[in-house]
Structure 1
Amino acid sequence: MRQRRIRAGLASLFGSFAAACSPLSTFDRLVPKDRGSSLVAEGLAYGPGPRQRLDVYAPRSSCGQPRPVVVFFYGGSWSSGTRAGYAFVGRALAAQGFVTVVPDYRLVPEVHYPAFVEDGAAAVRWVTANAGKYCGDGRSVVLMGHSAGAYIAAMLSVDPRWLGRTRAAIKGLVGLAGPYDFAPFDVDASRAAFGQVSDPAETQPVTWAGPGDPPALLLYGTGDTVVRPRNSEALTARLRAGGVAVEQRAYPKLGHVGILLALARPFRGRAPVLNDVSSFIRSNAKSNGVVLP
């Protein structure tokens, strides 16, 4: 009963902060930590700006073979969020055996599209060059994100303009409740971030998805009323039409925040999000010659 009350309290707190995926530092401080991981580097610069910083999480087990790297981009309507609020995600993935990087990026209204995608690309280039310092394999990187962060991860995965040759290091895309097909811009968040663009189609992952893209795992909750499931369905269809290996998972009754909440220790019983993500990463890491411990 006590554990149930604690979970209910944490869920309420999470929801109050995350209704628009805003900073979750208070929730992160209270949620039980994954003991098999640790924060190994904090506030590392991948660019000159104050929001161009990242944190690195790693398994506590000794380093043998280089480990796959996950770069996780948080959501927040491209206008809010801090990496400190998502340490629970970094620790959860690192405890599964992956070196995990959580970057900040510039936000609206300071910037608009494509600045946050450019920051994501700069963070990924940093990872490919520096992951080895933390027992990560910079040649085996999976891009992952939630909501607006899933958009950034998707654009970097399917649109070759951003990463150039570095895109060869991207071995998979994991999107949680991501907006991939949301033009025209008919809500305040998308208008603020993309409203100045002359060609809305140019900003959409579905426009760019096709042959040669990395394998993808697209996850959503059937109860999501913030980013409609049709976004994942549209990107899945476009990738499959291009011959790309893509898995789609729908979690019954899970909402926009709940799919992220399921990564935190007290809420993993709600849906096997962490297990599904980990299995996808392991499968694709193995297929690219990386041996997991």
Structure 2
Amino acid sequence: MRIFFSRVVPGLLLLTLLLGLSNEYAVARPSRRTQDVAYVPPTDPAFDTERHRLDVYAPKKQAAAPRPVVVFIHGGSWNSGNKNFYSFIGRRLAKQGVVAVIINYRLAPQVEVPAMAEDCARAVAWTAQHIAEYGGDPQRLYLMGHSAGGGLAALLTADTQRLARWGMNPSSIRGAILDDPAGLDMLDYLQKMQYPGDEQYLLPFGNSPAVWRDVSAMYHVTASTPPFLLFVGGETYPSIRNSSEKFRQKLVALGQHPVLQELPGKKHVPMVLQLYWQYNIIYRELLAFVHASGAQSAR
């Protein structure tokens, strides 16, 4: 997860610019967007009027049966990012027969990663409770994330207690799609501190190795953890590539059969930018993974 602040911030600015332009095109696609839904009650003392919200993207075309649901968690080094940047993912998924939920969550320095994970768990629990109203199947939920969001998606998939605390049956989570995930093993990463600038991650993760371990999916996966699809860029940060392979090996040792695909030539930010195009490999694999049907023509 070699994500230097000086390199990631310019990348995120580029991402913001490109996605802002792409959204003008994506907004016309055949989907229905329900925007800025509060997944934490406004009466909750912790309610954040911006960060505790999500968007739902549903296909306009009616289906005979409830559709699979993908909850997408954005990245941004645990200190930046916004669901509004990723409307193109919601619309692309809806266009292909999936109900998509794109969420916000609180960020550092306002909160640390354990609170971010709780926010994401509450968003997933809201989805399980309400997604049938949008044509989604609450028993077929899949978590997806890029970068820091990939680490959070993996954590919620593996650590069933975080979802159960919010009244959700964790068996509703059928799998996870990780796109160049960061944070799969922060205990190892922060103990080594082998890259320049790694001290910055003590802001979102704090100083306790016990916390680093608790928010790392690596230490929660079991033989019964739902299946994973993992994608890493051929030119991504070495630590992301290494931790993803280590994660795969851990799952294999548990008797699982995870899929890990390296996409040649892709750097970290382009790994999410490519999701603007409907026919990239991640969508092709994702649709088979979630057993989506009723995808509309790209034309």
TM-score normalised by structure 2 residue count: 0.83
1:33 has 2:26 as partner: yes
Equivalent position of 1:273 in the other structure: 282
Unaligned runs of 5+ in 1: 1-15, 286-291
Using the TM superposition, give the Cα deviation of residue 24 of structure 1 relative to its aligned residue in structure 2, in angstroms: 4.7
Q: Name the CA distance, whole Å, in 2 between partners of 1:35 and 1:106.
A: 29
How much has 1:18 moved relative to structure 2?
A: 6.4
Residue 43, structure 1, aligned to residue 36, structure 2: yes
Find the partner of 2:237 among 225, 241, 248. Answer: 225
Shift of 1:256: 0.5
Report the 3-state secondary structure (helix = DSSP H, G, I; strand = E; otherwise coil) of the residue aligned with 2:79.
Answer: coil
Unpaired runs of 5+ residues, structure 2, are 1-6, 41-46, 295-299
Post-superposition CA distance 1:261-282 (Å, at most 9, x none) = 11113xx67x522212222222
1:189-228 alignment, distance < 5 Å: 189-199=200-210, 200-225=212-237, 227-228=239-240
**2:61 aligned partner:** 61
User: Relative to 1, partners in 2 of residues 1:234 and 1:22: Cα closer, same or farther, differing over 3 Å?
Assistant: farther
Quote how far apart the aligned CAs of 1:39 are: 3.9
Aligned twin of 1:13: none
Partner of 2:175: 172
Q: Which AA in structure 1 matches 2:20?
A: R
Asked if the contact 2:32/2:60 (under 8 Å) is kept, the reply is no
SS at match of 2:105: coil
SS in 1 for 2:160: coil
Q: Distance between the aligned counterparts of 2:20 and 2:147, measured in 1?
A: 22
Give distance in 2, aligned partners of 1:17 and 1:263: 19
CA separation in 2, counterparts of 1:85 and 1:99?
Answer: 18
- Residues 1-293 of structure 1 mapped to structure 2, 5 A cutoff: 19=10, 21=12, 24-31=15-22, 32-33=25-26, 36-47=29-40, 48-50=47-49, 51-164=51-164, 165-179=168-182, 180-182=184-186, 183-185=188-190, 186=193, 187-199=198-210, 200-225=212-237, 227-265=239-277, 272-282=281-291, 292-293=293-294
Q: Which moved more, 1:249-258 or 1:29-38?
A: 29-38
Question: Contact conserved, 1:18 with 1:257, CA < 8 A, in 2?
Answer: no
Listed one character per residue, the Cα deviations across residues 108-155 of structure 1 (whole Å, up to 9, x for unaligned) are 000002010000100000000000110000110000000000011000
The Cα offsets for residues 144-199 of structure 1, whole Å up to 9 and x where unpaired, read as 00000001100000112211252110001100111212434231442221133341
CA contact (8 A) 1:214 1:244 kept: no
Over aligned residues, Cα RMSD in angstroms?
A: 2.2
Percent identity between matched residues is 32
Q: Would you say how many aligned residue pairs link Structure 1 and Structure 2?
A: 267
Q: What amino acid is the match of 2:169? A: T
Question: Structure 1 stretch 227-236 or stretch 48-57: which is displaced more?
Answer: 227-236
Query: Do 1:36 and 1:59's aligned partners in 2 also have CA atoms closer than 8 Å?
Result: no
Runs of 4+ in structure 1 over 4 Å off: 16-20, 22-25
SS at match of 1:79: coil
- The CA deviation at 1:80 is 0.4
SS of structure 1 residue aligned to 2:93: helix
The 8 Å contact of residues 20 and 76 in structure 1, kept in 2 or not, is answered as no
The one-character-per-residue Cα deviations of 1:179-230 (angstroms, maximum 9, x if unpaired) are 2124342314422211333413222211111211001101101100275201
In 2, Cα distance between equivalents of 1:142 and 1:251: 22
